Amino acid sequence: MERKTNKSKSGEETEVKSSILTSSKYQSSVDLDMEKEFKQIYEQAKRLGLTVKDFKTISVLQKIDWDVSPCKLFLQIVLAVLSVVLVVQCSLVFTVLLDWPISHETLAQAWFNIYQSDAEFEQCVVYMPETLHTLFRPPVECSFCKGLKEVQTVNNINQEEFERLYAYSGVPVVIGDGTVNWTAPKHFSFEFFRNLYRPGSQALENQQRKCQFFPYKSNFTRLEEVLEMSDDRAHMRDGSTPWYIGWSNCDFKTANLLRQHYQRPYFLPRLSESSKTDWMFMGSPGYGAHLHIDNVEKPSWQAQITGTKRWTLEPPPECYDVCENRLHVTVHPGQIIVLDTNIWYHSTLNVGNDISITIGSEYD
């Protein structure tokens, strides 16, 4: 009886093995769902009394890990993913806090290279409110404004004298003949920029994609909206409210075109270098920039091309007991004001009857 039973069981095992192999071949030939087919075979084998140990004796199935359940496999995958995330996070912490194993500059440059952009022209990833910039601004030494009663206007100043008196001292000054020999006053106008940044142009596309735009609390959100205004609206001939905007000129092709009409100011120090990006400001009479301080490191110049602009300057709070609390200066067409906007609070107001157009840049 025992031998008969063993023989019978052996026959059943052979039958199951044969069934498995036959089913596998059949599955491949008709491209059936492997998982469904295997489950059917497995259930048939259990009904015949085969165990996992029996399955392991089949050479075709010996590579299967019968001890790994679906839940255990899922858990292993989750743990692997979390391990990778943890390694990445720890690497970032080491890099940001310890400046190791690569420098912050290298990491930032790699980031911009991946996205094929230039850090010089990119806006901050996280917008920092102006009030926070002001709140955490480091205090300054007040010699730049001590005893200053007014902003002087000078003409025909040489580079050495400008460097000694104004370039890096923080003392503001207006250069009366700053735009001598420039052709910008003959060409720049609202209509000129509307044609330059016309819809569909590469100049407009690059400006909106790469460069910054400042609406100065107007209702505009981008340069294209401003230049879509009618002439009557732009010049306020229809009784519209005044407007004022600014934008960075960071597109090289457009910058080179505009720089055909203006040059590096003649009085800047011989060894100083200007920023690659210039700034354009334009607006109607009756409006301007609110009182603010810039978050920059370098002093800057701003050339008045058309219109007239009235500047109000205030020292930082730590200098109130040392300096005049407020200075006013009016800049006329052809003049350039030189100002360290990182230490002087400043506001502007376009006055007169013409649209104000100014060009500005930083220098080191």
Q: pLDDT tens digit string along 293-345?
A: 888 779 999 999 999 999 999 999 999 999 999 999 999 999 999 999 999 99
In this prediction the pTM is: 0.66
Q: Which residues pair with 357 in a beta bridge?
A: 282, 306
For 159-198, what is each residue's pLDDT tens digit?
999 999 999 999 999 999 999 999 999 999 999 999 999 9
Answer yes or no: is pLDDT of 8 > 80: no
* Residue located via tokens 């009235």: 310
Please name the CATH architecture into which domain 142-362 falls. Answer: Sandwich (2.60)
Answer whether 323's CB lies under 8 Å from 341's CB: no
Domain ranges of the chain: 2-61, 70-114, 142-362
Give the separation between CA 137 and CA 347, rounded to whole angstroms: 18
Among 331, 238, 347, 330, smallest CA distance to 291 is for 347
